[in-house]
Amino acid sequence: MRRRDRAGADAPADDARRGLSRRQLLLGGAVAGAGAAAAIGADAVARVATAAPAAPAELLHGDAVVPFHGAHQAAFTIPPQAHATMVALDLLPETDAEGLRRLLRILSDDASRLTQGEAALADSEPELALVPARLTATIGLGPAAVALAGAAVPTWLAPLPAFAIDALEDAWSGGDLLLEVAGDDPLTVAHAQRMLLKGTRSFARIRWVQSGFRRSHGAEAQGTTMRNLFGQVDGTVNPQPGDADFDGLVFIRDGWLAGGTSLVVRRIRMDLDTWDRLDRPGREQSVGRTLANGAPLTGTREHDEPDFAALTPIGFPVIPEFSHMRRARSDDPSQRFHRRAFNYDERPAGASVSESGMLFTAAQADPLAQFVPIQQRLSDLDLLNEWTTPIGSAVFAIPPGCEEGGFVGETLFG
């Protein structure tokens, strides 16, 4: 990740208010550079100059840029942002393979600009593009789009097998195309989403839109695992970009999807009203971890290894057999995937004071080999099922990233 050189862009003229040009601020020396890296995310700041002007650097996370071009689509190379909107689209009947190719080109072109803090080509509100805040725009394809292009449709690119726990609603399921817009600023995400959707109007119509959030940028110490709306520390055991086994688990090796991945999107309602009635030990046992800091019930720190053999004085496992953590963990280390979850909290209906849940996503090279066995285990038995219900489900092929001049999805066309 690097910081945007705002002085080089079509920036607002009100520089006096900012004191110095952003460029000067960004080149504020190595110390400032280190601060910037700490302030904006896991990755280093690329621009660290050796010259050291007197002014202290003003570090704005709004300026942080995630490169659009590369081997993989960018969202799978960074820690998740604070806000995400996922839009599923259905292709119009009149859209043919050439239309799809044009659509993917337009989306890639707009995304390559917007994510870099630049206006899209036909941007109607160019000023709203100037605060990238780690914006990423991810493009995914459903089976109909892949077939339309004449490419091989992977076996896994289909609705997941039905699970007993599912109560899926059409309104949150399926889709020919996925557009995921994520960033640390909600205004930027809203603008980018709209600009990207404008480009799709002649080719596709919206099927569903789902938005979610995590902690705001900089609210907590870097590396703090997010909490979900149950109050649980969520994401502790999760292969992360940069981990030794991440690429092998997540990225596809062969064919037109080489360098790409698959994305399972599940909308999971969390019944906070009934969850509230469960006592604290019950809640902790349902997952196998403490609420205070997410430590396994056999440990004291979040990242302690759980001891599944430990027994209570009266002989029960300390981490219950049917706890979510235990059920979600397979003996087979290949049955893992990269989770990115966003909380949702909608207008409550009726007597409820909440309509909440999780926009759960899992990325893996092969959903049938990695995700489905775990989801099946959880569907069979998982204490958490009492308070959670999958109400939406979709699977998308995520093409690899592209280089400058190319477009996401180009490998589809052979």
- DSSP for residue 311: B
Partner that binds at residue 404, options its own copies, ligand HEM, none, CB closer than 5 to 8 Å by kind: none
23 binds its own copies (CB under 8 A): no
Q: State how far Cα 409 lies from the chain centre.
A: 19
Partner that binds at residue 329, options ligand HEM, its own copies, none, CB closer than 5 to 8 Å by kind: ligand HEM
* Among 275, 360, 371, 396, interactor with its own copies by CB under 8 A: 275
Between residue 94 and residue 133, which ones bind its own copies under the rule CB under 8 A? Answer: 124-128, 131, 133
Question: Do the Cβ atoms of 90 and 201 come closer than 8 Å?
Answer: no
Active site residue: 110, 176, 184, 234, which one? Answer: 234
300 binds its own copies (CB under 8 A): yes
| DSSP β-ladder status, 2-3 and 64-65 | antiparallel
For residue 376, how many other CB atoms are within 10 A of its CB? Answer: 13
In degrees to the nearest 10, what's the CA dihedral of 378, 384, 388, 393?
A: -20
Q: Could you tell me the CA-to-CA distances from 219 to 38, 291, 354 in Å, in that order?
A: 13, 19, 24
359 binds ligand HEM (CB under 6 A): no
CA distance 181 to 137: 5
x/- contact string, 202-231, with ligand HEM (CB under 6 A)?
--------------------------x-x-
* Among 307, 345, 368, 389, interactor with its own copies by CB under 8 A: 345
Least separation in angstroms between residue 250's CB and ligand HEM is: 14
- Which has the closest alpha carbon to 1: 51, 41, 57? 41
Question: Do the Cβ atoms of 373 and 333 come closer than 8 Å?
Answer: no
CA distance 110 to 122: 9
Between residue 35 and residue 54, which ones bind ligand HEM under the rule CB under 6 A? Answer: none
Q: Kindly state the greatest CA–CA separation across the chain.
A: 71
348 binds its own copies (CB under 8 A): yes
Q: Which is nearer to its own copies, 62 or 140 (by Cβ)?
A: 62
Contact residues for 2 (Cβ-Cβ < 8 A; gap 6+):
45, 46, 47, 64, 65, 67
324 binds ligand HEM (CB under 6 A): yes
229 binds its own copies (CB under 8 A): yes
Q: Is 234 a catalytic residue?
A: yes
* Among 285, 286, 335, 356, interactor with its own copies by CB under 8 A: 356
Where in the sequence numbering do the catalytic residues fall? 234
Residues within the interface to ligand HEM (CB under 6 A):
228, 230, 232-238, 266, 268, 270, 287, 289, 294, 324-325, 328-329, 358, 360, 374-375, 378, 384, 388
